[in-house]
């Protein structure tokens, strides 16, 4: 997949192509009946369009962008990758962040400062 199909940690991939073939406006029921099994990648996890949109219980979508924004709004922490990771800023004085190493185990020591 290209970087163009990734938004905020979610690989929209085939969803773009799928939504190009949908006539908008479309009811949520019709969208999910026809395309609910479309899979989206979120880091190491996957989810179906139906699994993400069904809890919203929206009556109708008016555009592909509206569907994509609903998907982005419904993804959880699994889409964000490493929590509290930033390659831009060091810890601020007094800042408390979740401490974990790459294996996900909690660390007992303090984080290194830059």
pLDDT per residue rounded down to tens, the chain (114 residues): 344 444 445 667 778 888 999 999 999 999 999 999 998 887 677 889 999 999 998 999 999 999 998 988 887 655 555 555 555 666 667 767 666 555 555 555 555 554
Boundaries of every domain in the chain:
3-79
**How many angstroms separate the CA atoms of 22 and 20, rounded?**
6
Residue that the structure tokens 């962008």 belong to: 65
pTM over 0.75? The answer is: no
Q: Collapse the DSSP code of 27 into the 3-class scheme (helix H, G, I; strand E, B; otherwise coil) and give the result.
A: strand
**How many angstroms separate the CA atoms of 89 and 91, rounded?**
7
**How many angstroms separate the CA atoms of 93 and 96, rounded?**
9
């Amino acid at each position: 997949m290209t970087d163009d199909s990734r938004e905020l940690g979610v690989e929209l991939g085939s969803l773009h192509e799928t939504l190009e073939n949908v006539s908008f406006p479309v009811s949520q029921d019709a969208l999910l009946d026809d395309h609910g099994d479309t899979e989206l990648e979120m880091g190491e996890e996957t989810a179906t369009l139906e699994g993400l949109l069904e809890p919203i219980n929206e009556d109708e979508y008016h555009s592909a962008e509206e569907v994509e924004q609903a998907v982005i709004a419904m993804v959880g922490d699994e889409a964000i990758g490493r929590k509290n990771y930033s390659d831009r800023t060091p810890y601020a004085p007094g800042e408390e962040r979740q401490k974990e190493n790459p294996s996900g185990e909690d660390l007992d020591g303090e984080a290194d400062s830059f």
